[in-house]
Amino acid sequence: MRVGFIGLGNMGGPMAKHILDAGHTLTVYDVRKEKNVQVLDAPVSGGPMGAQQATLAVMVGGDRAVYERVKPVLDAIGNKVSYIGTIGCGAIAKLVHNRIAICT
């Protein structure tokens, strides 16, 4: 099976090795700058209709300079694109958004 794996630190490195040893194929990403790749987390909200109409809310976490550079791309899919904070903050905002939706 082809597996995507994020984080090759003290725990992730050995875990990834076990997955490889079990015969699976890995595509990996680590926070170290291995191939000059920059990453943002950018979960969305708005459902299929929002995707069709490009009216999604996009909650972005990561390096602000990277966000500013790719914002025109994000603006193409949503009309409520927001920089939330460092990497992972977009995902946290999405989780909070989902939790509030469940409680109302």
Q: Model confidence over 53-97: pLDDT tens digits?
A: 999 999 999 999 999 999 999 999 999 999 999 999 999 999 999
- In contact, 75 and 61? CB cutoff 8 Å: no
Residue intervals in the chain for CATH 3.40.50.720: 44-103
Q: Kindly report the three-state secondary structure assignment for every residue of 59-79.
A: EEECCHHHHHHHHHHHHCCEE
Distance CA 51, CA 83 (A): 19
Contact 82, 58 (CB under 8 A): yes
Looking at domain 44-103, its CATH class is alpha beta
Mean pLDDT, the chain, as a whole number?
Answer: 90
Q: Is the pLDDT of residue 39 over 70?
A: yes
Catalytic residue among 33, 35, 80, 94: 94
94 annotated active-site: yes
Question: How far apart are alpha carbons 11 and 75 in whole angstroms?
Answer: 36
- pLDDT per position as a tens digit, 2-33: 888 888 888 888 888 999 999 999 988 776 66
Residue 97 tokens read as 């958004």
